[in-house]
A and B are shown apart, each in its own frame.
Chain A
Amino acid sequence: MTLQSQLEAYLTRIWETPARVTMIARIPGGASRETYRFDVEVGGETRGLILRRDPVGSLIDTERKLEFAAFRSFHGSGLPVPEGVALEEQGAELERPFFIMGRIDGGKAQSPFTVAPYGEHARTIGEQFYGHLGTIAAADPATLPIAQAAETPAPDACWKRELDYWEGVIDADEEHPQPIVRACIRRLRASPPPAARKLSVVHGDYRTGNFMHDGQGRIIALLDWEMAHIGDPLEDLGWAMEPLWCYGETDRVSGMLPREEAIAIWEAASGLTVDPAAFAWWELFASVKGQAIWTSSAKEFRAGGFKDPVLGLSGWYTARRQDVILADRLAALEALA
């Protein structure tokens, strides 16, 4: 069966009415899941949808239930988040786990490897980008669907849970010794941050390239929630400002705004203040997390028979860029007392 016919069979069954799928096309990017756009005709109406299906090999191991719950948590909240339509953890007619979400048309996502990705709209987009992130941080996760799918850590345990997880990923997937990231992990453990001042939904991959804009300065969709969890909101802010995501730029975070302006916008939207010492910890952690992801990419590239070039590029070129960032961050830390 083709993917198109599998989708038609699935949608016809769950909607209990004939569904016809057209215009199905795989979308580049979304390396953690196979992503397809398609139209479905049902009951005389046509609707645009997105299919996110688990791949055979992946950049990261994530729970599609969490991603689906994140969409349900923020769709209709005032943030530009697509609607979660259907979730199948056992794969059903499509053989591998998947979910379907609403499609938002008329936008584009920029690669973080492009120069000045937002051109003349950088400031306007930056104001929305950091404002939306602050709005996510301000939400109470206990009142949202994600609380039914994600573990809620104690505020003083957020940092350790994340660091343990990502160090575990490196332990499991590393195929060549990495002294730089190992030294950074030891430094993080030696100087833990203070407890989270508030528990928030953490998007987990909030960065340049993971949202769509309309080309006129308006963000129309916040995407790629596959690493969503509950934790310290500074985690997302540190990841958003990771230097990897602003190619060749040193004076604007995310290729959008000066750092201090971005923090001020986030603080105003979240109602929180950024503790510089705590944030320094989360910024270094962001670079460690990045290296863990690229380490997994390299392993998956091999495990998958070298057939996914995105995994190969991530496990090689991106890993080396991340090492440069990590080494610079480590060198800038205070000397041992």
Chain B
Amino acid sequence: MTPTVPELLLGNFLCLMDPPPPESSGDFLQSRIGVTGMISLLCAQEAERGIAARVWENGAIRDLLRRAAPTYGAAFAEAATDEDTDLSLAAMDRANADLRRALIDLHIAVEAARDAALDTEIRGLYVRMADARRLDLPPLPAG
């Protein structure tokens, strides 16, 4: 998933490193600092939850691909053969990209076959995937 936490935190540093031109001080600079703070806060959430979310998602997609393979083709089982041994966010995301591509292909095949049961299961998986990656912004008061 992009951008990554290292990119976001590097960006927080870079965007405040250079002195702004006079016309970009004041409200604009204050707003920019506020956004960098928000990013830092959300990066803390990602650091705490991100690995667990990816371990779960990669496992759930592999399980689905393996179960679908007898009906939809051995290629889906082959796409699910690896396991996550490197638990860094970067390695997990690389594996996740391959798994998501296989999931997209499987869903297209399921739709073409009018397989309502598996289509419903995949749509339910999407809900859980999105929820697992959710980031929670604290309520901000209206200005």
Q: Which residues of A contact B (CB under 8 A)?
A: 2-4, 24-29, 36, 108, 110-111, 113-119, 175-180, 182-183, 186, 190, 247-248, 298-299, 301-302, 305-310, 312-313, 315-317, 320-321, 323-324, 326-328, 330-331, 333, 335-337
A321 vs B26: C-alpha distance in the bound complex, in angstroms? 30
Residue-wise, chain B 16-40 has the 8 Å CB interface mask toward A (1 for contact) of 0000011111111011100110110
A330–B23 contact, CB under 8 A?
Answer: no
Taking the nearest CB of chain A, how far is it from the CB of B97, in angstroms?
6
A176–B100 contact, CB under 8 A?
Answer: yes
A335 vs B117: C-alpha distance in the bound complex, in angstroms? 8
Chain A residues, CB < 8 A from B140: 111, 113-115
10 extra interface residue pairs, beta carbon distance < 8 Å, beyond A113-B137, A327-B131:
A2-B22, A176-B1, A177-B100, A298-B2, A316-B39, A320-B130, A320-B133, A324-B130, A331-B123, A335-B116
A27–B7 contact, CB under 8 A?
Answer: no
Taking the nearest CB of chain A, how far is it from the CB of B95, in angstroms?
12
A326 vs B134: C-alpha distance in the bound complex, in angstroms? 13
Taking the nearest CB of chain B, how far is it from the CB of A173, in angstroms?
10
Chain A residues, CB < 8 A from B7: 301-302, 306, 312
Taking the nearest CB of chain B, how far is it from the CB of A120, in angstroms?
11
> What total of A-B pairs shows CB separation below 8 Å?
173
Q: Which residues of B contact A (CB under 8 A)?
A: 1-3, 7-8, 10-12, 14-15, 21-28, 30-32, 35-36, 38-39, 42, 93, 96-97, 100-101, 103-104, 107-108, 111, 114-116, 119-120, 122-124, 126-127, 129-131, 133-135, 137, 139-143
Instruction: State the majority secondary structure of interface residues on B.
Output: helix
A116–B3 contact, CB under 8 A?
Answer: no
